[in-house]
Amino acid sequence: MLVLVAPGQGAQTPGFLTPWLDLPGVAERLSAWSDVAGLDLVRAGTEADEDEIRDTAVAQPLLVAAGLVSAYALFEGPGPLHRQVGMVAGHSVGELTAAALAGVITDEEAIALVRARGLAMAEAAAVTETGMSAVLGGEQDTVLAHLDRLGLTPANVNGAGQIVAAGTAAQLAELAEEKPEGARRVVPLKVAGAFHTEHMKSAVAALAAKTGQLTPADPRIPYVSNGDGRVVASGAEVVERLVAQVASPVRWDACMETFAAHGATALVEAAPGGTLTGLAKRALKGVAAVPLKTPEDIEKARAAVAGTAAAAEESA
């Protein structure tokens, strides 16, 4: 069974979209989505520096656009994607990518929503100086108890020995000085706020108002929610969860448990891939994990897709 996943904020790097523009139709598609977003996605993904693409209002549309174009390049369109993918999921803002890939919302709706989401989260983040840091290593219960003592939120429980803490700058500074017992490192993340925490409540209201205009379809691929790892069959519920997760922790560990329970044999991460495949390689032993970083990775990913399809035929 093939799982297709989309990364969240922090995966972007300056110029990462440049090689994708060489593929037929990509520049035209990104140009059209730029009009929807009111943001030049081509320039942002090719010329903008690290500080500019760290801006939440820029990073989020850029990531969703990259995820969509890379997934469609791999499968040569949504039709083959729907036939060959067994499950789809996204980490944080990647859930919007996943919702579009599953057919719950259109690509244009995803771009419009993610732009609204990014702007609302950037506004919420400007109220108080907040951020996020990854805690690497340590027993999960010990790390969670330590974060609770410091008043930090476990915004991403990623599995594979990684928990992302979110809170105020002062709380994160205290965490850096006082690591949880057993933790190897505490790594500040290049994000502009404490996402998936109470600091984002105003963004939830803004996104809820925007999604009220949608008529979502039920997923054409089993859709795994990052709120709890549950497979969600209702398009309306997917959209409700997209709104709520702005201020709720991401449970990527639960998503990976769901992939394993449903017999995942391969996992492909849409561009800019690397983060989620890294987690999968540590937590999903025996599952082929392939990141799409540049178009050069497409053939390797297609080999994983073909291998999954051949295994399914043999077991049928």
For residue 136, the surrounding DSSP H or E stretch is: strand 130-137
Q: Which residues share a beta bridge with 288?
A: 266
Catalytic hit among 92, 133, 225, 248: 92
Residue 154 pairs in a beta bridge with 165
225 annotated active-site: no
For 316, counting Cβ atoms within 10 Å of its Cβ (0-12 exposed, 13-18 middle, 19+ buried), the class is exposed
Closest CA to 63 of 37, 90, 93, 35: 93
- Active-site residue, from 91, 146, 196, 199: 196
Sequence-distant (≥ 6) Cβ neighbours of residue 121 within 8 angstroms? 56, 57, 60, 193, 195, 200, 203, 246
The token pair at 30 is 């990104």
Q: Can you tell me the distance from the alpha carbon of 172 to that of 77, in angstroms, rounded to the nearest whole number?
A: 43
Taking the C-alpha atoms of residue 234 and residue 43, their distance in angstroms, rounded to an integer, is 36
Dihedral-angle region of residue 232 (phi above 0 means left; psi in -120 to 50 means alpha; beta otherwise): beta
Cα-atom radius of gyration of the chain, to the nearest Å?
18
How far, in Å, CA of 8 to CA of 272, rounded? Answer: 9
3-state helix, strand, coil in the chain (%, to 5): 55, 15, 30
CA separation for the pair 137, 163 (Å, rounded): 8
Is residue 196 part of the annotated active site? The answer reads yes
Give catalytic residues, as residue numbers: 92, 196
